[in-house]
Amino acid sequence: MKLLRTLSTRSLLFLVVAVAALGGGAVAVAVAAGGGGGPTPPEKPLAQALQDAASADAPAGITARIRFTNKLFPSGALTGQAGSALMSGASGRLWVTNDGRGRLELQSSAGDAQIVWNQDEISVYDASSNTVYKAKLPAGTQDTNKDSGAPPTIADINDALAKLGAQATITAAQPDNVGGQPAYTVGLSPKHDGGLLGSVELAWDAARGIPLRAAIYAQGSTTPVVELVATEISYGPVAASDVEISPPPGAKTVDLSPPAQDTSGAGKDTSVTGLAAVQAAAGFPVTAPDTLVGLPRKDVRLVGNGDSPAALAVYGEGLGAIVVVERKPDAAAAGSTSPQNGALAGLPAVSLDGVTGHELATQLGTILQWERGGVSYVLAGSLPPAAAEAAARNLK
């Protein structure tokens, strides 16, 4: 099964976990039920509803009208992006074939945003900047159940839910109606180390197992920060022309694919970890105190390539962790990486004990970038701006 519905029961559970893990950027789900009236399915235990979703026959294709809401970024926070469908939200259409291809078209006053994918690659075209962002997808993401695709048993599902329940509060399967389809909605909220994340939820077609709504809520909020919901949906074959389109000539392309792994040293662990080893190998002063705003340092390692190494330190655990990346500024790329230049110059400026930094504060977290002592810092975490700024001031 290679359709959105191909989220088997196990995959549905993994999606909920992944949504929570991505927290600050991903599309997740909204706990508010009630898609606008219409029939709802009978009440069922969550494990049974998930197994039924995994056992349903996959449709030949999906065509839907969708609504995308994005309240993550404050108004005007990203210079030049206010009208972007990706930044401000939009309505649009979705097409998915039964062989792993799809397209999501979002329409706004700034022009369309097109998200196109297949089993190997995903690309995002943003008309507001005439830019294509593309990335290779990880290999081996297909479901490889030992039982040749047979859905997990109720016992398997209950076991998985019990393990997930140790980290998060999970609601019952709530009968719902989304996009005119009887649906079930399940909510999840972290029990600890959740940062600013309040809750996430997934709604799926009760008869076919197709995800119909995804959204994410910040702590204390009753409206979603990010939401993707099908307002109308139909099932049937989808033409190849609906999922195979190219960006206009002249569009700028940004390749976000990770570099190919060097397998020449297969079997060897060549990573540089530990504060002393990272400080010796970095080529610039690395600042990584034992604790940061009360959070213990859990990891520090060297990342990046040999020409532009960076030190990555993680403080705390879970969604409440703080990540700090330090590197030597690249003079040749100063126009795009220096906080005084490029896109970051449009972000609000903050004073960090005599140093000017630039800050992106959202309902789900904060990103700070600054330079001090010949080192460029980026700090990110699911924490409010005041806490992020306090952490930045401690990195000296």
pLDDT at 87: 75
99 and 201 part of one domain: yes
Residues 351 and 284 in one domain: yes
Q: Which of 220, 255, 290 is the last residue of a domain?
A: 255
Task: Work out the mean pLDDT of the chain and round it to a whole number.
Answer: 81
Quick check: is 269 in a domain?
A: no
86-95, 166-175, 190-199, 230-239 — which is least confidently predicted?
Answer: 86-95
Residues 6+ apart with CB under 8 A from 102: 4, 94, 95, 96, 116, 117, 118, 243
> Within a domain: residue 234?
yes
What is the pLDDT averaged over residues 198-220? 95
**Do the domain assignments include residue 261?**
no
Answer whether residue 120 is part of any domain: yes
> Any idea what the CATH number is for the domain that residue 370 is in?
3.30.200.100
pLDDT of 324 over the 90 cut:
yes
Q: Answer yes or no: is 365 within a domain.
A: yes
Asked if 212 contacts 56 with a C-beta cutoff of 8 angstroms, the reply is no
**180 and 70 in a common domain:** yes
Final residue belonging to a domain, choices 255, 290, 319: 255
- Residues 105 and 237 occupy one common structural domain: yes
In a domain, 324, yes or no: yes
Question: Is pLDDT of 320 > 70?
Answer: yes
Do 170 and 74 share a domain, yes or no? yes
Q: How many domains does the chain have?
A: 2
Integer Cα distance of 258 and 389 in angstroms: 30
The range of the structural domain enclosing residue 40 comes to: 4-255
Taking the C-alpha atoms of residue 81 and residue 67, their distance in angstroms, rounded to an integer, is 19
Specify the residue for token string 């998930």.
50
Give the CATH number of the domain where residue 107 resides. Answer: 2.50.20.10
- Between 233 and 256, residue with greater pLDDT: 233
Q: Is residue 262 part of a domain?
A: no
Looking at the fold, whether 208 and 296 belong to one and the same domain comes out as no
User: pTM of the full predicted structure?
Assistant: 0.79
Question: What is the pLDDT at residue 325?
Answer: 95
Q: What is the pLDDT of residue 162?
A: 94
- Are 210 and 352 in a shared domain? no
Q: Which of 226, 255, 284 is the last residue of a domain?
A: 255
Please write the tens of the pLDDT for every residue from 263-282.
555 544 468 899 999 999 99
Q: Are residues 124 and 239 in the same domain?
A: yes
User: Are 132 and 21 in the same domain?
Assistant: yes
Burial class (CB in 10 A: 0-12, 13-18, 19+), 231: middle
Over range 68-86, report the average pLDDT: 68
Q: Is 47 within 8 Å of 38 (Cβ atoms)? A: no
Point out the least confidently predicted range of 20-34, 202-216, 271-285, 373-387: 20-34
Across 31-35, 44-48, 94-98, least confident range: 31-35
181 and 297 inside one domain = no
Specify the higher pLDDT residue, 76 or 4. 76
Does residue 180 sit within a domain?
A: yes
| 135 shares its domain with 79 | yes
Q: How many CB atoms lie within 10 A of CB 145?
A: 11
Nearest to 216 by CA among 370, 65, 59, 72: 72
> Residues 224, 75: one domain?
yes
